[in-house]
Chains A and B, each alone.
Chain A
Amino acid sequence: MANIASQRIKREFKEVIRSEEVARCSIKVELLDDNYSQLKGEIAGPPDTPYEGGKFLLEIKVPETYPFNPPKVKFLTKVWHPNISSVTGAICLDILKDQWAAAMTLRTVLLSLQALMASPEPDDPQDAVVARQYKGFPEIFISTAEHWTNIYAGGSRKKEEYSKKIERLMGIGCNMDQALVALSGCNWDLDKAIEQIFG
C-alpha cells in the first residue's frame, strides 16, 4: 500500500479512537488487516430519527491513491434510507464521490454519514423505491425505517402489524429478508407484496 495512504490511515485511526464521538459511542472504527487498506466502521443511528438506537456497520476500503481519491464506503447493515441502497448498501453521498477533499478523514466521513442518515436527500436517491415512499408516504417511511433498524441494527422501535405481515409471508415459503423488502417496497400492502414475490 502506498506510503502516504498508510501514514494517513494510521493517524486517522488514532484520531477516531481518541475522538469525543467514540467516548459517546457514536462512531467506531476497527482495522481488518495490517496494511491499513480495509477497515470496519460503525455509526450509531442519530437521535430523533428512525435509526435511533441502531448500530450500523460499514465496510471501508482505502484505495492505493488515498487521500487523493476518497475511501470506498458501503453499509454492511441493511438500512431503509433514500440515499442508501436497501439491497447492496451502496451510498450516494457527494463527499464520497466528486466532492471529496484530501483533508477529509475517516472521522469526518463517518460523521457525514451520520448526518446523511439524519437528513436524507430524496432528490438524489440511491434507492428509488425508498425515495418514492419518503416523498409520498412519509409516515410509512418512518415506521418502515424503524422496523428495519429494529430487525438489522438492534433498534427498539417496531410495529406489531408489520411483524405479523412478515410472518404471514414467511408462512407461505418466503425468507425474512425477501418478505421485508417486498412489503416495505409495497407500502406494507400484503396482496401487492405477494403478487410481487410470486407473480
Chain B
Amino acid sequence: MGYDVGRFCGSVDEELICPICVGVLEDPLQAPTCEHAFCKRCIHEWLNHQPVCPVDRQTITSVQLRPVPRILKNLLSRLTIMCENQSHGCSGIFKLDLLSSHLIECEHNPKKLIPCEQGCGFVVPKDEVKDHNCVRELRCTVQKQKQKINELQNQLSEHRFLINDLRRETSLLKEYMKVMRSTNPSVRAIVEEIERDEVVRWSNSLPRARVCRWGGMISTPDEYLQDSIKVALVESGCPSHIIDELMDNSHERNWPIGLKSLETRQSKRREYEKYICKRVPCKQAVVVLQIDNPLLDEDMMVEPGLVMIFAHGVE
C-alpha cells in the first residue's frame, strides 16, 4: 500500500498516485500494454481477485507486470516525505528514496529493538519495554526449553531401545554366521571372499596418503587417541571384522619386527617409502593394509594391516 499523500511536502502529481490505494506509489509496477502503474502490493492483491487491469480491464497476470520507467522512479524519489514516526516525535523530512534507511535507525520508531537494561539478555521493541518482565520472559524460555529437553529425552530412550534391539539381532546373526562357517567349508570360503571384497572397496574409497616424517610415528598411542582414530575409521566405512585388529596393531607391541626397535626403524627408514598408505580422514594417521602391499617382506607387515598414528607429517 502506498504512502499517505498527506505526509508529503507540497502537492503530489496525480500520475504518482496508485489508483487502488490512492497513496503515493510504493515499489511501483506497471501493466504490460496499457502501462498503468500501481503499488506492488496493491496490484498483486487485486490480481488475486481478478486478472484484469484495475483501470481499463485489459487482461493481465502477475508475471506480466513490469518495473516502471526510470523517469517515474526518479520523480518518486525526488518527493520529500515526513517520517512515519512523526506522531512519536520524529521531525525528520527525507527524500522518498532515503526513507527506508532512516526508518531502520529512527530513534522515535516505537518498534525499534533495544536490549533490556536489567540484563536479562532479551531484545525488546521500544514500545513494549514498559510491559517487559524479565522474570516472566525468562520463565517462559525455561518452560520451552524444559519441554524441548523432555522431547529429546523421549527420543533418546526410543533410540536406546532400538539400538539394544539391533545389537541383539546382530549378535544372533554373528553366532549364526560362526556356526555356518565352522560347519560348512564352502560357506567359509564365500564369507572370506565377501570380507576381502569389503576391505578392497573400503581401501579404494580412501585417499592415498604420503608420510613425510616417519620419525613422527607414535609407538604407544593412549586410549583417547586410539578411540578418536577408531571413530574416524568407523565413519569412513571401515569393515567391522578388521577394525579391532587394525587398531590393536597401532601399538608397538603388535608391530612387525621390521618396525619394532628404534635401531631397525632407523636402518630401515628407506624401506618405509614402499608402504602404500591410505589416509584416515581428518587425522594424522594412515592405514597400511596387507591387500594394498602384497609384495612387502613379512617383517614389514602384519595381518590384516595396521594403523600408523603420527604426531605430524601426513599429507
Contact = CB atoms under 8 A, between A and B. Distances in A.
A150 B171 CA distance: 103
Contact of B45 (A3, A11, A68, A100): A68
A101 B50 CA distance: 8
Interface string A1-21: 001100110010000000000
A118 to B, nearest CB: 22
A69 B49 contact: yes
A142 B240 CA distance: 102
Contacts of B295: none
Contact of B54 (A4, A11, A69, A101): A101
A71 interface: no
A103 B42 CA distance: 11
B4 A102 contact: no
B1 A101 contact: no
A41 interface: no
B79 interface: no
Contact of B21 (A4, A98, A99, A100): A4
Contacts of B46: 68, 102
B270 interface: no
Given A68-B46, A102-B46, A8 B22 contact: yes
A7 B20 contact: no
Contacts of B70: none
B168 interface: no
Interface of B: 1, 4, 19-23, 36, 42, 45-46, 48-50, 52-55, 57
19 contacts: A3-B1, A4-B42, A7-B22, A7-B23, A8-B22, A67-B20, A68-B45, A69-B49, A99-B57, A101-B50, A101-B55, A101-B57, A102-B19, A102-B20, A102-B42, A102-B46, A102-B54, A103-B20, A103-B55
Given A4-B20, A7-B23, A68-B49, 11 more contacts: A3-B1, A4-B42, A8-B21, A8-B22, A11-B22, A68-B20, A68-B48, A99-B57, A101-B57, A102-B19, A103-B54
